[in-house]
Structure 1
Amino acid sequence: MNAPQRIDVGGSAPYTITIGHGLLADGAALAAPLRGRQALVASDSQVAPLYAGTVCDALRAARPDARVETCVLPAGEASKTLAGFGVAIDALTALGATRDACVYALGGGVVGDLAGFAAACWMRGIDCVQLPTTLLAMVDSSVGGKTAVDLPAGKNLVGAFHPPRAVFADTSTLRSLPDRELRAGLAEVVKYGAIVDDGFLHWLAGHAGALLEREDAALAEAIARSCAHKAAIVERDPFEHGERALLNFGHTFAHAIEVEQAYDGLNHGEAVAVGMVLAARLSARLGLAGDGDADALCHLLERFGLPVTLPRGLDPGALVERMRLDKKALAGGLRFVLWDGPGRARVVADVPEEAVMAVLQGR
């Protein structure tokens, strides 16, 4: 087995992303960020039966003086609410968590966001270690310190920036990941090529089969390259005042789709795939890039088995209304991350709503 790969994220609160096989059983590594004697392993009803016991046993073996408890939420986006946040806070209360306690977020993006937000708020901020178990969480939500919960009005409207103490991406967990979730993660992997690295898009096209077959070397390389791109961007712009907004390529469309479907249609990665194609087509409509660039992106996403068209039954007008409340919108109008072609994304403000409507309507 290859040695773990490590990527350092700099800035005012530096940490390391470790990528490798079997990390959830490495008690010494997992316990290293634990400054105190209390650990809360937050997970969900799908992931906890698979991995929570391994993590808790590893922590207890490495730190027999520590109290290690679990908090298990129902699986799914429906748990990423203020009510779910309350469950995590109640678990920290029951633990008697002090300022040097640590929350271990074990699961996908929902758990990572919610548990990270609970850690950000408990006593104005305690440590959090991200233990992502989905490809999407490994390459996106576990890195960068964005934490949040959803409101009925939109995704991630209540949250905080709270960088983790460490991230451990155990690639062995991807073997238990449903095919649909693996493909959803690949959408976010494609995003990094789309926004900053055209060469990575070519690499992904050449390794599509290996990635879908879950070959360890290909997955580890895709995760490492994605995390390196995100780490570099986050280090330069930790609070999304500029360049970090590029990571939202496709997300303005995607979040509107998810909310309009009440989180009961496309999952996040699938919605991002559709959103990236729509963003590329909007870029072409505004004269920033060619239609051929959008077609090539569409073809690559289809190779990974991802949707590339707006789901039937969604009202374009309702989607635009959702976008007006998106965190990426400004008082002056809609703002999108668009591109000048593969690997060259930029933020465009005051995008005409009629152009957005035309793209949503397929015109």
Structure 2
Amino acid sequence: MERITVKTPSKSYDVFLGNTMTQNIIDFISSNYPSVSTIWIIADIEVHSLYGKQFANELERVFPVTVFEAPSGEQAKSFKVYEEAISHGLRNHVDRNALVIAFGGGAIGDFAGFTASTFMRGIPFISVPTTILAHDSAVGGKVAINHPLGKNMVGQFYQPDGVFFDLDYLKSLPAEEVRSGYAEVIKHAFLSDADFLRELYSNFTSVSELREEYILQCLLRGIKVKAEIVTQDEREHGIRAFLNFGHTYGHAVESASGYGNRTHGESVMIGMIYALYLSEKYCSLSFDLKEFVNWIISVGYDLTVPDHITFTQLLDKMKNDKKSKDGMPVFVLLKEIGEPVLVTVPEEGLIAADTFIRGIYKWAGEK
């Protein structure tokens, strides 16, 4: 079992990575919460159907357990489902001595963490991520739900007490979720290390041929990148904003597509290419963008922005981004790989980048 310690001003906690970790979770709870009243599992309904019943049954041998099944993915992160979860907790006598377990992907981690942070003014939670994507969202304490006008607009910083990454849960991931997760791995490479990115070029060539040991190494490297940044800037007063590389345009595309209609990671991949184009124009980034795009296409990412989603719609959503300043979106761009900066881009630059994205297959020599 591997362990990474995340240290922030508000809390230090460990991220554990390994196989068959339910007993480790039971031991952790018994040791750290000897008077726990209830284990409140907040689970993705599809993940629960695959793994959740066995997981809950094993916990029930030791602790009282109640399970709230939330819709899959971003559909969970709504005011309606949040109210349903709170009602479930109250009806099932969840109290301040309870512990929440977030059981699912990144969206469930966001949702369960936010629910834990607000229920009775806050009860502890641990995260049991079941996707590669969640290696990013499960670390750092950003918890939130969505608003129709913007992603993650209602939330706060609330650190988990522990994260348990059981690699057994990754074995059933569909191809689109593997790609979604690796988009965040690629993001961490852009923010940290050109050699890491080159290794991904060589090793991430097919979603069906990834070895578990390689997935583990990618998760470890990605989590370490994020942990180092979060340690220095827990509440995004400075460098933590760099973790939003690819997210400004990507979130806009994801929101305009309708939450859940395309994966978060694929949306972020589109956003990273948008940001790389802007980085070349405004930060003199020296980078072979065509080689990168052709690699991404070969792995199976869909980079299409549908025609019915207009630039005006996307611009409105980008202006509502949390990093916006004076009514204009602020982008994380790269001077070099591993050297991100925050830049306010003029509207004509945003239009040019949007046009580039919409013609990307023709530009790359595809389709």
Fold match (TM-score > 0.5): yes
2:27 aligned residue: 28
- The aligned residue for residue 52 of structure 1 is 52
Partner of 2:194: 198
Contact 2:179 2:207 in 1 (8 A): no
Residue number in structure 1 paired with 2:13: 15
Return the offset for 1:236.
0.6
Please tell me whether residue 360 in structure 1 is matched to residue 360 in structure 2: no
Match of 2:148 in 1: 152
1:91-106 alignment runs, 5 A limit: 91-106=88-103
The alignment-based identity, stated in percent, is 35
2:362 maps to none
Q: Is the 8 A contact 1:129 1:166 kept in 2?
A: yes
- Aligned-residue Cα RMSD (Å) equals 1.8
Q: Which residue of 1 aligns with 2:312?
A: 317
TM superposition shift of 1:46? 0.3
Matched, 1:333 2:317: no
1:111 counterpart residue number: 108
Aligned to 2:228: 232
The one-letter code of the counterpart of 2:173 is L
- Alignment pair present for 1:84 and 2:84: no
Q: Deviations over 1:240-263 (max 9, x none)?
A: 111111110000011100111112
> When the two structures are aligned, how many residues end up with a matched partner?
354
Q: Measure how far apart 1:31 and its partner are.
A: 4.5
Checking the alignment, whether the CA contact within 8 Å between 2:14 and 2:163 is kept in structure 1 is yes
* Contact residue 247 and residue 268 of structure 2 kept, 8 A: yes
Q: Is the 8 A contact 1:211 1:219 kept in 2?
A: no
User: Is 1:37 paired with 2:37?
Assistant: yes
Tell me what 1:346 maps to: 341
CA contact (8 A) 1:105 1:128 kept: yes
Find the residue that maps to 1:135 and give its secondary structure. coil
1:238-294 Cα offsets, whole Å, 9 max, x none, are: 00111111110000011100111112542101000110000000111224313x443
- What CA deviation, in whole Å up to 9, does each residue of 1:29-72 have, x standing for no partner? 455444522110111220111222232233233xx3x3111000
Cα distance change, pair 342–299 in 1 and its aligned pair in 2 (3 A): farther
Q: Secondary structure at the match of 2:309?
A: coil
Q: 1:114: how far off? A: 0.8
Scaled by the length of structure 2, the TM-score of the pair is: 0.91
Which is worse superposed, 52-61 or 37-46? 52-61
Tell me, in whole angstroms, the C-alpha distance in 2 between the residues paired with 1:34 and 1:214: 37
Q: What secondary structure sits across from 1:241 in the alignment? A: coil
Distance 2:80 2:317 in 1: 22
Classify the secondary structure of the residue corresponding to 2:322: coil
The runs of at least 4 aligned residues of structure 1 exceeding 6 Å deviation read none
- Give the distance between the partners of 1:170 and 1:295, measured in 2 at CA: 36
Letter in 2 for 1:361: T
Alpha-carbon shift at residue 188 of structure 1 (Å): 0.6
Is the CA contact (8 Å cut-off) linking 2:283 and 2:334 kept in structure 1? no
CA–CA distance in structure 1, aligned partners of residues 132 and 348 of structure 2: 36
Q: What is the identity, as a one-letter code, of the residue corresponding to 1:168?
A: F
Structure 2 equivalent of residue 188 of structure 1 = 184
Which residue of the other structure, out of 151, 163, 169, is the alignment partner of 1:167? 163
CA distance in 1, matches of 2:185, 2:64: 37
Distance apart, 1:187 and its partner CA = 0.5
Larger deviation, residues 31-40 vs 176-185: 31-40
Residue in 1 that maps onto 2:364: none
SS in 1 for 2:165: strand
Structure 2: gaps of 5 or more residues: 360-367
Structure 1 residues 341 and 304, CA, compared in 2 at 3 Å: closer, same or farther?
farther
Deviates more, 1:335-344 or 1:281-290: 281-290
| Cα displacement (A) at 1:88 | 1.6
Q: Is this contact kept in 1: 2:101–2:127, CA < 8 A?
A: yes
Query: Counterpart of 2:325 in structure 1: which amino acid?
Result: L
SS in 2 for 1:180: helix
Deviations 1:147-187 (A, max 9, x none): 10011111100001110000001111111111111111011
Moved more, 161-170 or 197-206: 197-206
Distance 1:121 1:333, change over 3 A: same
Instruction: Please tell me whether the aligned partners of residues 250 and 273 of structure 1 are also in contact (alpha carbons under 8 angstroms).
Output: yes
1:251 correspondence with 2:281: no
1:356 maps to a residue whose letter is L
